[in-house]
């Protein structure tokens, strides 16, 4: 019994020591990236063979790649989807970023899973698009001063900025959000923003914001764009149509999201026009028509934004039926629905089991002590009973012999007889 108690004490001490908080072993992950206007290539280098999956956050099924049991895994994402966000920097750089989840096992989510933000910078010059234009220019000739027509290629930069009022890339539903389409080009080329669409990032859900004329579909969702223009380089010379300018188209709207996604993607078309684009009255049924001379290239700009709706999720939980399971809600909201469920870390769970084991050991010790005391009392009472019986055994046997003598009728000459 003593050995058993000592063994249980050793187990409890070892359990408490092993349950002390320790830092889980994390894999060392190095990230290398390269990108273009269309694609974002990411390579992850780990310190062990990788058998799990890597995916863009919120796109675990659509934008993922499976490890091949080597220490290197690569994933290629389109810059127009999969949660990829783009930002402009002050050093003439354009930056793509995406939140990656490195799941160490193919099917299991574990505490050892890692989260990384992959970034890639690209020069704004590489983001420029060559646009063929037709211009008229005077050329000196030995014969005459006739106007000559020739093909010319202009570089046009266009991008879309999407963010909160403070410029952050994450907002809540209803928060004021700014959308700006910026185009850098010669002043003699005009711009019209058309066909803006809000997407879920994979093409399953969409909401049109501006039609093919550049008019807002619903001004309660996104109002009409405000146009501004500023010169890129200030100079002493008189402004010319060949000067490079930045044209900015801005709208501010309350943020919205798709129900099953926390990323909102916006894609807009940038129609370039020679000289001036046609003026459109959105209150009428005017069409946006361009002839072959006025129509130049059409570019696409896109960006994404993280949009959360905590209050909407809470209200939906309160109004939903009791048949809805906890797994159908986002992770941040599940705890509100999972009443009666206790969540504990591994170390705290082990410590709890150790405390329960200690309580059980104390109960066993108390039970053994009580049992030993009961046995001692039982032996003492049996000893006293045996002693009293031995003292009175002789008298009792005599009495029994006396009591066994009976008077019975006798059929002989004597009227009575004794029987022993």
List of the chain residues with pLDDT < 70: 1-26, 134-151, 233-239, 311-346, 382-420
CA distance 135 to 150: 7
Residue 256's pLDDT is: 93
The answer to whether the pTM exceeds 0.95 is no
Output the DSSP codes for 291-349: -TTTEEEEEEEEEEEEEE-HHHHHHHHHHS-TTS-GGGS-HHHHHHH-TT-----HHHH
Residues near 210 by Cβ (< 8 Å), separated by ≥ 6?
193, 194, 195, 196, 216, 217, 222, 225, 268
CA distance 116 to 144: 66
Residue 275's pLDDT is: 84
CA distance 86 to 97: 6
Helix H or strand E encompassing 358: helix 346-391
Residue 2's pLDDT is: 60
Joined together, the tokens standing for residue 333 give: 């909201």
Residues near 375 by Cβ (< 8 Å), separated by ≥ 6?
none
Dihedral, CA atoms, 55, 174, 171, 217, nearest 10 degrees? Answer: 60
Strand, helix or coil for residue 198:
strand
CATH tag, 25-123: 2.60.40.3210
The domain ranges of the chain are: 25-123, 129-136+147-308, 347-407
Q: Pick one of 2.40.50.140, 3.40.980.10, 3.50.50.60, 2.60.40.4100 as the CATH number of 129-136+147-308.
A: 2.60.40.4100
CA distance 304 to 262: 10
Question: pLDDT tens for residues 310-368?
Answer: 766 555 545 554 444 444 444 444 443 444 445 556 677 778 888 988 898 898 888 88
Question: pLDDT tens for residues 99-129?
Answer: 999 998 888 888 888 999 999 999 888 888 8
Count of residues in the chain: 420
From the list 123, 270, 269, 121, the residue with the least C-alpha distance to 185 is: 270
CA distance 249 to 179: 8
- Give the HSE-up count for residue 123: Cα atoms under 13 Å, Cβ half-sphere: 2
CA distance 47 to 73: 12
Residue 313's pLDDT is: 56
Output the DSSP codes for 27-63: --EEEEEEE-SSEEEEEEEEEEEE-SEEEETTEEEEE
Residue 227's pLDDT is: 93
Residue 5's pLDDT is: 60
């Amino acid at each position: 019994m003593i050995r058993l108690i000592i063994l249980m004490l050793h187990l409890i001490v070892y359990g408490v020591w092993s349950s002390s908080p320790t830092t889980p072993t994390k894999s060392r992950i190095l990230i290398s990236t390269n990108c273009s206007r269309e694609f974002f290539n990411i390579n992850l280098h780990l310190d062990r063979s990788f058998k799990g999956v890597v995916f863009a956050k919120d796109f675990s099924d659509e934008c993922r790649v499976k490890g091949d049991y080597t220490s290197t895994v690569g994933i290629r994402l389109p810059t127009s989807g999969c949660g990829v966000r783009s930002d402009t920097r002050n050093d003439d750089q354009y930056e793509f970023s995406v939140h990656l989840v490195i799941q160490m096992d193919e099917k299991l989510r574990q505490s050892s899973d890692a989260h990384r933000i992959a970034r890639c910078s690209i020069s704004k010059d590489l983001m420029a698009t060559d646009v063929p234009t037709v211009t008229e220019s005077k050329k000196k000739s030995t014969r005459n001063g006739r106007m000559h027509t020739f093909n010319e290629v202009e570089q046009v930069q266009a991008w879309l900025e999407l963010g909160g009022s403070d410029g952050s890339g994450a907002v809540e539903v209803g928060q004021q959000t700014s959308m700006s389409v910026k185009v850098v080009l010669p002043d003699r080329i005009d711009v019209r923003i058309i066909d803006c669409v809000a997407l879920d990032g994979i093409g399953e859900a969409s909401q049109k914001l501006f039609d093919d004329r550049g008019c807002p579909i619903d001004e309660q969702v996104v109002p009409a764009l405000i146009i501004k223009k500023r010169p890129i380089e200030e100079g002493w010379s008189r402004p010319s149509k060949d000067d490079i300018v930045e044209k900015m188209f801005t709208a501010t709207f309350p943020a919205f999201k798709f129900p099953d996604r926390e990323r909102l993607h916006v894609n807009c078309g940038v129609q370039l026009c020679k000289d001036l684009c046609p003026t459109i009255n959105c209150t009428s049924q005017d069409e946006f028509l361009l002839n072959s001379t006025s129509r130049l290239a059409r570019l696409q700009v896109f960006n994404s934004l993280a949009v959360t709706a905590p209050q909407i999720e809470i209200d939906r939980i309160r109004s939903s039926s009791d048949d809805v399971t906890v797994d159908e809600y986002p992770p941040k909201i599940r705890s509100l629905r999972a009443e009666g469920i206790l969540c504990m870390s591994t170390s705290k769970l082990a410590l709890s089991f150790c405390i329960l084991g200690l309580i059980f050991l104390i109960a066993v010790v108390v039970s053994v002590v009580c049992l030993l005391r009961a046995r001692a009392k039982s032996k003492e009472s049996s000893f006293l009973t045996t002693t009293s019986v031995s003292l009175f055994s002789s008298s009792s046997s005599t009495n029994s012999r006396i009591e066994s003598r009976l008077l019975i009728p006798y059929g002989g000459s004597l009227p009575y007889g004794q029987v022993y």
